[in-house]
């Protein structure tokens, strides 16, 4: 009855208490941000009369999106109950009778996420943001491990693995999902997607489902079909934007996109796409991590085979589709559309590579589906399966136009890596994607996936063996040796040609110029003999050839004159950048100004010009990048040194990410973990 309806004069959303209770206080406590399926309590101050249990009533209406409807689940109408029911929208009074009412409200654990308006009675309208709740057992993103939740939802920084599978390099990244304004930008990304433009009511309804949101984000982080966040560029020419190596965190990228009225930020490559996606997933409450697959295949015709053609010196004739590494994200959720065994980590890839259902997006696909070879499951299983399992066949194209198969032992999908929970160590998660090589389970998965070339492949154990060995130290600026090792396991004498060359290469397999080679036409080996052939790599030759990623490809091609067989061996090396040393001066405390003393020694035999250090860190640098440029050049062997001031805003373990850039050493990264006290 309307005469028993509570007459509300004013209210207090108790943001400090509620946001802390819902683990959203890192976003600030100036507005109400709560997670679904978990009660929150607000204080209502009545104008007249007082609350009487069993007599007083209150009509509550929660609405999200521009076309709220009960049919779509974007509008919920409910009244007062004796107790909160966490399985649906409900409200209950938890205070004794009086003119102040403590009203507890709970959203459904499958309610669409986003901005809400809650109308209470005739006069009160409150606004709040609702997020996924991985702490709630009834939520599809529920994760039953506090340490994992601290890492995959609450941690604002991390490590992304780059380099090569023999030499993984830790790249620090500032996700910054709780920095000021980032959550609003993440919600704007959802509102800029083409499905929302076409049918906002249906799109907002879809936001109850993390599968829908994950697929949408894999499309919206790239800008290939929409007003997405990042434009990819692998050309090496970054005019009109910045090199992907420039970025240290997601905040700058997201803020630029937001400020540029949703024009794409220039430029990204795979680890940048993945890192930005990870920020958005975590901001919305979906557990997420960035993963790196070394020797990752790009199968653009779906036959699970990558074919490469080389000339008689082992140089690629056409661009290969094997990336030294490729990064994507995994997000944690149940898959009610599939069998229960496919719950858990799902791979999705925001880097635009191939279209899926007419759009540049990929996933989410359960890791279990990839491991078992279940390629008919949603979404994009064949493409991800090929990234970690494709077969690799090399052909030599001779001058007369004829081709022959080359013996080349290479395994796609190695050392799949992510940051460990609670430490900066590398966790190897290859076993989540594939069974041990050569196992019965692996053969079974290949049968299911109809991966015929791998099933038919016999291990070729030819009599001649060719490998590449490297020096223990390969620092940028130094000259050093690498070695082709040839051994003869046959019972007869062998006469061969050995070509041993090197060239610059980018992480996605784009080959650059030559930086030194040897061509030996008469290599003779008696039975059981091994020969080690050195190749000197000189800084003067490789300095103008390697990209900022410091990768050199070594290739050795051995032609057996007696059998006419060709063997190819290939290896990628990463030149070591100098170490950035970081000292924090002063006692690290909340809201106290600190200085970071940062030094780097020039390892090159030439001066460094235009030197600039910059720092960034969640809750350390006020959501900004702080830079300091050196006034003069830094000579060979000299130290570049700066002092940069910053003021931490929150206590806890924080990662200070440092970037050094100059004319000859580009975007060298370093970091320091800092414990900020109260």
Q: Is 442 annotated as a binding residue?
A: yes
326 is catalytic: yes
Q: Is 372 annotated as a binding residue?
A: no
The two tokens of residue 504 are 């610059």
Q: Is 481 annotated as a binding residue?
A: no
Q: Residue 344 forms beta bridges with which residues?
A: 333
CA distance 485 to 605: 31
Label residue 106 exposed, middle or buried (CB < 10 Å: 0-12, 13-18, 19+): buried
624 is catalytic: no
- Cα dihedral sign for 129, 131, 135, 140? positive
Alpha carbon separation from 322 to 300, 307, 389, 390, 413 (Å, rounded)? 11, 10, 12, 10, 10
R_g over Cα of the chain: 29
CA distance 133 to 42: 19
**Contacts of the segment 629-638: beta carbons below 8 A, 24+ positions apart:** 633/607, 633/608, 633/609, 634/602, 634/607, 634/608, 634/662, 635/602, 635/607, 636/602, 636/604, 636/605, 636/606, 636/607, 637/601, 637/602, 638/601, 638/602
Q: Is 437 annotated as a binding residue?
A: yes
The two tokens of residue 525 are 């080996």
CA distance 384 to 366: 10
CA distance 557 to 315: 10
Catalytic residue among 22, 298, 326, 572: 326
Residues 132/113, Cβ–Cβ less than 8 Å: yes
| 351: CB partners within 8 A, 6+ apart | 222, 232, 268, 269, 270, 273, 274, 326, 327, 328
270 is catalytic: yes
| 345: CB partners within 8 A, 6+ apart | 330, 331, 332, 366, 367, 432
Alpha carbon separation from 387 to 275, 303, 374, 382 (Å, rounded)? 19, 12, 15, 9
CA distance 66 to 198: 12
Catalytic residue among 203, 349, 560, 661: 349
Please name the helix (run of DSSP H) or strand (run of DSSP E) that holds residue 5, with its range, or none: none
Catalytic residue among 270, 288, 496, 503: 270
Sheet of 8-12, strands arranged across: 8-12, 40-46, 100-106, 90-93
Parallel/antiparallel/unpaired status of strands 511-525 and 464-470: unpaired
Residues 364/215, Cβ–Cβ less than 8 Å: yes
Q: Which of 497, 665, 647, 678 is nearest to 584 (CA)?
A: 647
Active site residues: 270, 326, 349
Please enumerate, by residue number, every residue annotated as part of a binding site. 389, 391, 437, 442
**Annotated binding-site members for Ca(2+):** 389, 391, 437, 442
């Amino acid at each position: 009855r309307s005469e028993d309806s509570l007459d509300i004069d004013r209210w207090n959303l108790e943001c400090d208490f509620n946001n802390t209770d819902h683990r959203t206080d890192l976003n600030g406590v100036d507005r109400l941000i709560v997670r679904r399926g978990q009660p929150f309590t607000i204080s209502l101050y009545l104008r007249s009369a007082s609350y009487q249990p069993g007599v007083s009533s209150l009509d509550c209406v929660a609405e999200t999106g521009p076309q709220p409807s009960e049919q779509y689940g974007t509008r919920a109408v409910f009244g007062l109950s004796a107790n909160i029911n966490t399985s649906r929208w409900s409200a209950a009074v938890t205070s004794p009778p009086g003119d102040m009412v403590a009203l507890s409200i709970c959203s459904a654990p499958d309610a669409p996420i986003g901005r809400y308006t809650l109308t209470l009675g005739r006069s009160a309208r409150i606004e709040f943001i609702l997020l996924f709740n991985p702490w709630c057992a009834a939520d599809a993103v529920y994760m039953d491990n506090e340490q994992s939740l601290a890492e995959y939802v609450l941690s604002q920084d991390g490590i992304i693995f780059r380099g090569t599978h023999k030499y993984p390099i830790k790249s620090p990244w500032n996700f910054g999902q709780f920095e000021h304004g980032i959550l609003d930008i993440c919600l704007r990304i959802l509102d800029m997607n083409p499905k929302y433009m076409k049918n906002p009511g249906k799109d907002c309804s879809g936001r109850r489902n993390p599968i829908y949101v994950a697929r949408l984000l894999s499309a919206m982080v790239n800008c290939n079909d929409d007003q997405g966040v990042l434009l990819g560029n692998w050309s090496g020419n970054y005019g009109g934007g910045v090199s992907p190596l420039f970025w240290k965190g997601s905040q700058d990228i997201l803020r630029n996109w937001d400020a540029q009225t949703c024009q794409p930020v220039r430029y990204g490559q795979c680890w940048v796409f993945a890192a930005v996606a990870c920020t958005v997933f975590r901001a919305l409450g979906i557990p997420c991590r960035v993963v790196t697959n070394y020797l990752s295949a790009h199968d653009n015709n779906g036959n699970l085979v990558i074919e490469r053609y080389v000339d008689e010196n082992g140089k690629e004739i056409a661009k290969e589709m094997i990336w030294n590494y490729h990064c994507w994200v995994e997000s944690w959720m149940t898959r009610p559309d599939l069998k229960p065994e496919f719950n858990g980590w799902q791979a999705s890839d925001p880097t635009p590579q191939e279209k899926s259902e007419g759009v540049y997006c990929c996933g989410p696909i359960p890791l279990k589906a990839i491991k078992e070879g279940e390629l008919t499951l949603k979404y994009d299983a064949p493409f991800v399966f090929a990234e970690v399992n494709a077969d690799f066949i090399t052909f030599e194209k001779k001058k007369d136009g004829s081709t022959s198969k080359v013996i080349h032992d290479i395994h796609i999908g190695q050392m799949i890596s992510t940051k460990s929970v609670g430490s900066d160590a590398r966790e190897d998660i290859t076993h989540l994607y594939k069974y041990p090589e050569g196992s019965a389970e692996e053969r079974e998965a290949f049968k299911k996936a109809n991966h015929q070339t791998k099933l038919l492949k016999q291990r070729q154990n030819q009599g001649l063996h060719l490998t590449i060995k490297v020096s223990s130290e390969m620092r940028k600026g130094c000259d050093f040796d690498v070695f082709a090792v040839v051994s003869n396991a046959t019972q007869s004498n062998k006469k061969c040609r050995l070509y041993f060359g090197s060239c610059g290469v980018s992480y996605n397999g784009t080959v650059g110029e030559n930086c030194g080679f040897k061509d030996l036409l008469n290599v003779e080996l008696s039975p059981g003999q091994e020969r080690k052939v050195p190749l000197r790599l000189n800084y003067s030759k490789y300095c103008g050839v390697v990209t900022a990623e410091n990768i050199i490809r070594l290739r050795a091609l051995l032609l057996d004159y007696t059998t006419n067989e060709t063997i190819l061996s290939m290896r990628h090396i990463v030149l070591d950048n100098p170490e950035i040393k970081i000292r924090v001066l002063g006692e690290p405390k909340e809201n106290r100004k600190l200085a970071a003393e940062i030094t780097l020694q020039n390892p090159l035999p030439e001066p460094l010009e235009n030197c600039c250090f910059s720092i960034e860190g969640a809750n350390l640098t006020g959501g900004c990048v702080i830079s300091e440029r050196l006034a003069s050049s830094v000579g060979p062997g000299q130290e570049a040194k700066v002092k940069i001031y910053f003021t931490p805003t929150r206590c806890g373990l924080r990662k200070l990410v440092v970037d050094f850039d100059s004319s000859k050493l580009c975007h060298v990264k370093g970091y320091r973990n800092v414990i900020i006290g109260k």
